[in-house]
């Protein structure tokens, strides 16, 4: 699993749309195309030998030919004031995503952003890095990823199951 690192990667992924939501989190997904995951991207930028600049692929890992899953957490200060809380939530995101890695690899190559969209109640979770907060975050993230995997893998199964039977006559 690759990690999103640049602002354009996060922006492109979030433009792909929301695939799953819980009370505190939203999961955005961008299904990657051949242009996004170009394996042998042409050199771009200053010093490139091209007569005109080609667009740079956002999701490139040189020499990697397996389907890729990209992941990035987005935990704003607005919803988690203390850095210890933000980092604990990010660690939980990566840990839960690694549990779902095999299921995500089975889907088409995609980039995912897990966004914290609401703060956790400070009266209920007094400590910034308590075990109860970690358990609550972990449970909600598991619910988020399970729903996303079901939704991403399910359209073909759902359509075939809900198709009306053929009328013979």
pLDDT in tens, 101-111: 999 888 888 89
State how far the Cα of 132 lies from the Cα of 145, in Å rounded to an integer: 20
* pLDDT over 80 at 138, yes or no: yes
Q: Distance of alpha carbon 71 from its chain centroid, rounded?
A: 5
Q: Give me the percent of the chain exceeding a pLDDT of 70.
A: 71
Backbone angles phi, psi at 77, to 5 degrees: -60, -25
Other CB atoms within a 10 A radius of the CB of residue 111 amount to 26
pLDDT band at 156 (very low <50, low <70, confident <90, very high): low
Residue 162 has a pLDDT of: 44
Most confident listed range (58-62, 93-97, 158-162):
93-97
Quote the CA–CA distance of 83 and 93 in Å, as a whole number.
15
Which residues have CB under 8 Å from 83's CB, separation 6+?
Answer: none
124 token code pair = 């209920």
Which residues 6+ apart lie within 8 Å of 143 measured at CB? Answer: 22
169 pLDDT band (50/70/90 cuts)? very low
pLDDT of the residue at 93: 94
Instruction: Answer for the pair 145, 27: CB distance below 8 angstroms, yes or no.
Output: yes
- 168 confidence band (pLDDT: 50, 70, 90): low
pLDDT of residue 65: 58
Instruction: State the average pLDDT for the chain.
Output: 79
Per-residue pLDDT reduced to its tens digit, 34-72: 655 555 455 454 544 544 444 456 776 666 655 588 999
Distances 158 to 95, 153, 162 between C-alpha atoms, Å: 29, 9, 6
């Amino acid at each position: 699993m690759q990690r999103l690192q640049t602002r354009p990667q996060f922006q492109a992924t979030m433009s792909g749309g929301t695939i799953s939501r819980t009370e505190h989190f939203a999961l955005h997904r961008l299904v990657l195309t051949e242009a996004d995951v170009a394996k042998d991207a042409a050199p771009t930028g200053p010093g490139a030998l091209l007569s005109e600049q080609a667009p740079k692929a956002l999701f490139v890992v040189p020499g990697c030919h397996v389907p890729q899953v990209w992941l990035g957490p987005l935990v704003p200060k607005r919803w988690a004031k203390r850095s210890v809380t933000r980092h604990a939530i990010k660690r939980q995101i990566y840990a839960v995503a690694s549990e779902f890695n095999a299921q995500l690899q089975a889907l088409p190559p995609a980039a995912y952003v897990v966004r914290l969209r609401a703060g956790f109640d400070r009266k209920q979770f007094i400590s910034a890095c308590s075990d109860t907060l970690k358990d609550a975050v972990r449970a909600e993230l598991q619910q988020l990823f399970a729903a996303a995997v079901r939704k991403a893998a399910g359209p073909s199964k759902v359509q075939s199951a809900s198709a009306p039977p053929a009328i013979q006559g």
